[in-house]
Amino acid sequence: MLPICALIAFIITFLTTRWVIHIAKERKIVGKDVNKPNKPEVPSLGGIAIVAGFVSGTFVLLIQDPNYERIISSILLSSLLIAFLGLMDDFLNLRQSIRAFTPIFAAVPLAVFSVGHSAISIPFLGVVNLGIFYYVIVIPAALTISSNAFNMLEGLNGLGTGMGIIMSASLAYIGLTRSGNIFVAGEMALILLASLLAFLYYNKYPAKVFIGNIGTYFVGSVIGSIGIAGYMYTALAVLYLPYVAEFILKARTRFKGVSFGKVNEDGTLYWNDMPNSLTHVVMKMGRFKEYQVVAILWIIEGIFAILAIYLQTTVIVI
């Protein structure tokens, strides 16, 4: 029955995205696509469709597997709380401090679900029991970092969506080869994957809709929640390594840096200042068009995804 959950998520996301595009245009909820020579206005808040698709697919999964209500509900609730933060940020442009620390409170459902399991496996070191620190430090930190970091590397058509596809596919593969709660976490990763694939149709170059902060925060929080509830910390850490580099580059600008570039007449992107983002690092490597910069970053993330799967399934036996 698993394909039904993913299929529902795909269909709902695909149809809802069309609706969001129509409503956003009508209400003038748009943003400028600054990576294009003519700077066209593109509907925003597309992440609402991803949320709708994921919730729909997860609801079907909950009906099919009511015995796993706790893990499904904890992942869904924590992610929706952070999605609400993203929606507020889209409209109110929240301060960096609020965006950075609010996700800590969204970690409560995951902490409650995890009571009784405070040990994590660390590559080459083995199992480490962290006790109460697991609930009050590790889980909140992991969710906060995953949601905020995913929001940093965005700004090019299809970039965040494609990164999310690669990451969710990795977690789905790991989870679906196991059993119990880990298998259910894999199922939810597959549902997210289906939602993102549907959204990519509209978000790929040239984008017909932007994902918005609600989308980046939500996708990042779902990936983080799945990694936490599915005890896939090693994979989660490896998948986010490119975002560590992004964090360092953004930190040099006191988090005021951007990820988009400057446009040449031939449509290629360039950046002639100090890099604010991994996107700028790629732009400085040659004359690339927007979709080529995105593809290079997808390939880089794909390499880390393969490493994540290897370490989580071979070095660490769940």
Closest by CA position to 61, among listed 121, 149, 115, 2:
2
- Burial grade of 124 (CB within 10 A; 0-12, 13-18, 19 or more): exposed
Could you tell me the CA-to-CA distances from 15 to 8, 11, 261 in Å, in that order? Answer: 11, 6, 31
pLDDT tens track of the chain, all 318 residues? 568 999 999 999 999 999 999 999 999 999 999 999 999 999 999 999 999 999 999 999 999 888 999 999 999 999 999 999 889 888 887 777 677 777 788 888 998 888 777 777 666 666 777 788 888 888 899 999 999 999 999 999 999 999 999 999 999 999 999 989 999 999 999 999 999 999 999 999 999 999 999 999 999 999 999 999 998 989 999 999 999 999 999 999 888 889 999 999 899 999 999 999 999 999 999 999 999 999 999 999 999 999 999 998 876 554
CB 139 within 8 A of CB 114: yes
